[in-house]
Amino acid sequence: MKKILVLLIIGCFAFGTNAFTQTKATVDLKGDDHKISRHIYGHFSEHLGRCIYDGIWVGENSSIPNNQGIRKEVIDALKGIGIPNLRWPGGCFADEYHWKDGIGPKDERPPMINTHWGMVSEDNSFGTHEFLRLCNLLDAEPVIAGNVGSGTVKELSDWVEYVNSDIESDMTRLRKKNGKEDAWYVKYWGVGNESWGCGGNMNPTQYYEKMVRYSTYMRSYPDKPLYKVAVGPSGFNPEWTEEFMKNVAEKGGAHLFSGYSLHYYTVPGNWQDKGSATEFGESEWFTTIRKALRLEDLIEVNARIIDKYLPDADIDLVVDEWGCWHNVETGTRPGFLYQQNTLRDALVAGLSLNIFNNHSDRVKMANIAQTVNVLQAMVLTREEQLIKTPTYHVFDMYQVHHDATYLPLKLISQDYEFKNKEIQAVTASASEDEDGKVHITFTNADPHNTASVECAPDGDRTLEFKRGEVLTHSQMNAHNTFEDPKKVTVREFNNAEVENGRIKVEVPAKSVVMVEFE
């Protein structure tokens, strides 16, 4: 393909004035040497609140339409956004979960107390077989987080063998006894979760030593190589990465993991009072977007540290927990983390996915928290009802980037100003699919001003605007409810054109936009 440069000129018109500001960016349409992994668009389902029980799992005898106990509407909704992978069983829950309690006849499975989330009793009716059947129904890759905090090396080794081996053994006989003749193949495994906190309160050196032992005995069976993810820091804690990677460099072990986990939650307030999901003004809006944009710094800082200590190692970044975290909804259990999902959350989702796309040479997987009824969920359920959140619609719009060729895009956005503070107003990312269609996704966080985009191709390829989609609303806290399930949804977008070879797009205030050219 011939190299084409597109100049983006983004102008912001202030309401009631003739003010116009311009910034410039370039997108290289010849493409880069890598694709945007579809696994960046992954999801996370923990045994937390109503994510699994009453969300995904309703049981075989439920009056709610289900497929052998799995809520049918959840299956349909997740298939609708092309879910590429699903992480389970946690989260903090993973390091108190003993997988053998969740296999075999359901009436013989011992109940357990979920000590992390609500101190509720769980009957273990949703376990390994149920989870892997769910992934099969979704055509999604399973991602299993292993118990390093309270489990044993043998326990995790046995789990891998039970799931992946076809060689005659005690574990494979047990699997067959429980109704699965042939092995599944689970490629992606987490070697623990948040080992600096709920996963064991370890320091980086202690975790390094655990990782080496546990990972060593997580075997790759014939034709079933494992992709293991080591535990990285909580948010901005480069000291963890420094010490961990120094241990790896000095003592060895780079071959024992392929991915390095990052967790980053966008919290509008503080951890004691995170702020309401729905009752907020422009101050909270601005703060949320500002914090979400720091995700890019997190990726870049950790990538630099890894390269400093292990310049020849091929270690991916895996952002396997991210998203907005607000106060729980009034009248719900605090430990269940049920929150609503507004246009603000959709903007955070869009700009985060743009950041992942633009760092897709290093970020190979990400998992938004969480899939159903918890934190920044895709869907919310109430008895037999299900609604799709604004964040769901962003993931729907961004499907165009799944496994598409990355198009390098350099953007210097105009600022969004609020009370003498400034942040980047516009984010964007671009890709080209296998059919030659070019897709650009934008977010405009400015709640007042439209971003006017003009693209001037430099080359002999003529692009034609084919279609567009937009997600926006007049209210920044607009959200879908069971009474009004389509208040915030994707609309057709036609405010784009190609005139005299120049592309023009008007990106509305507080919106997420996808445009397609061919």
> Mind listing the domains of the chain with CATH numbers?
5-34+428-517 (2.60.40.1180), 38-403 (3.20.20.80)
Q: Which of 194, 284, 469, 516 is catalytic?
A: 194
Is the CB of residue 247 less than 8 Å from the CB of residue 311?
A: no
User: Could you identify the residue written with the tokens 């984010």?
Assistant: 427
Per-residue pLDDT band at 10 (split at 50, 70, 90) = very low
Whole-number Cα distances in Å, 238 to 222, 302, 356, 362:
37, 7, 19, 17
Task: Provide DSSP, 168-233.
Answer: -SHHHHHHHHTT--S-----EEES-S-TTTTTT---HHHHHHHHHHHHHTS--BTTB--EEEE---
| pLDDT band at residue 217 using 50, 70 and 90 as cut-offs | very high
Q: Is 130 a catalytic residue?
A: no
pLDDT for 409 equals 83
pLDDT the model gives residue 457: 59
Give 324-345 as a 3 state SS string.
ECCCCCCCCCHHHCCCCCEHHH
Q: What is the DSSP letter of 115?
A: T
Residue 500 dihedral angles phi and psi, to the nearest 5° = 55, 40
Q: At 411, is the pLDDT very low, low, confident or very high (cuts 50, 70, 90)? A: confident
Mean pLDDT of 266-286: 97
* Mean of the per-residue pLDDT values of the chain: 93
Q: What are residue 47's phi and psi, to 5 degrees?
A: -75, 85
Which pLDDT belongs to residue 498? 84
Angle in degrees, 0-180, between the axes of helices 153-164 and 170-177, rounded to the nearest 10: 60
* Nearest by Cα to 433 from 411, 402, 479, 470: 402
Confidence tier at 5 by pLDDT (50, 70, 90): very low
Residue 439: strand, helix, or coil: strand
Query: CB-based contacts of 449: which residues, under 8 Å, 6+ apart?
Result: 12, 13, 14, 15, 425, 509
Choice among 122, 141, 161, 321 that is catalytic: 321
Could you confirm whether 194 is annotated as catalytic?
yes
pLDDT digits (tens, 9 = 90+) for 239-269: 999 999 999 999 999 999 999 999 999 999 9
Please name the residues in contact with 105: beta carbons below 8 A apart, sequence gap of 6 or more: none
pLDDT tens, position by position, 114-158: 999 999 999 999 999 999 999 999 999 999 999 999 999 999 999
Say if residue 305's pLDDT is above 60. yes
